[in-house]
Amino acid sequence: MSRIRALFARKNPAFIGFTVAGDPGIEASFRAAAAMVDAGVDLLEIALPYSDPVADGPVIERAHVRALRAGTTPDDAFALVRRVREYAPLLPIVLFTYYNIIYHRGTDRFFADAAAAGADGVLVVDLPAEESGEVAPSALRHGIDRIALIAPTTSAERQHAILRGASGFVYLISLEGVTGERDRLPPNLAGLVGTVREKTDLPIAVGFGVSRPEHVAAVVEAGANGVIVGSALVRAIEEHVGDEAGMQDALRTAVRSLRGGLVPRSRT
C-alpha cells in the first residue's frame, strides 16, 4: 500500500502542510520541514521554487523568490525530499510544481528522480487534463500519484475529465482566487465537497484560505478527508528569516495550534 493510501486508510482527517524547497535557504528549508514533521503534519507538500507561481498569493510568492535567490534548483528540491524521507520514512510527500520545470528537465527523468528521492505524488498546478498525455505514463511507470486539482468554478464535465487520470487524493480549492490567509471560508464548502465526492472514491483534501483552527474544524465538518495549510505556515518562516530556532518554534506552534481544529471522526 502506498504511503498516501495508508494515510487516508486510517479514516481520520489528515493535516497537510506546505513549504517551498529552499525557503529561506537550502539547509533552513530542511529544518523547517523537520519542525513541521515533529509537530504532527500527516503529509507534506514541497513546492519546487518557480519564477512565476501564478496559483499562489503574495506570501507564497515571496517564498519562491527567497528560494530562488538562495540558488535553489530542482536538484536541491529532490535532495530535500531525500532528507525528509530519511527523517520521516512513513510520511507521504507530494511535490507541488509547474509544468515548465517538468518539461525542462524531461518528463520521464523528472518522475524517475521524484520517485528515487522518495516522493509519493506530484501536483502539476498548470497542466490541463487535456494536455497530460505525456505526464500520465511517466507518473504511472515510476509509481507516482498524480494529484487532481479542482476549483470551485470547475464544471461537472471537467471534474470528470480531471478525476479520470487522478490518484492519491483530490486537492479541492475552497474558494476563487489565489492562495492566502482569509478571515473566513465560503459557507457552501460542504456542498462543494459533496459534489466532488459524488464523482470519485479518492480522498478529498481542502486547501486555499485555511489559516485558523476554526477553519480546520470547518473543513472537517464539511466532510473533507484532509486539510491543507500553506500560507499560514510559510508566513511563520518569513517572519523568522535569519532566526532558525525561532522559525522552528513558530512552525511547531502553528502546526499544533491548527491541528487543534482537526477533530478526528470516522469516514465512510
- H/E/C letters for each residue in 176-222? CCCCCCCCCCCCCHHHHHHHHHCCCCCCEEEECCCCCHHHHHHHHHC
8 A C-beta contact, residue 35 and residue 120: no
CA gap 16, 87 in Å, rounded = 17
Contacts of 105 (CB under 8 A, 6+ apart): 74, 113
Query: All 3 cell numbers of residue 220?
Result: 472537517
Q: Which of 26, 15, 20 is nearest to 64 (CA)?
A: 20
Catalytic residue (choose from 23, 42, 56, 76): 56
Beta carbons within 10 angstroms of residue 204's beta carbon: 23
CA gap 41, 129 in Å, rounded = 29
Catalytic residue (choose from 23, 42, 45, 61): 45
Residue 45 falls in the annotated catalytic set? yes
Where in the sequence numbering do the catalytic residues fall? 45, 56
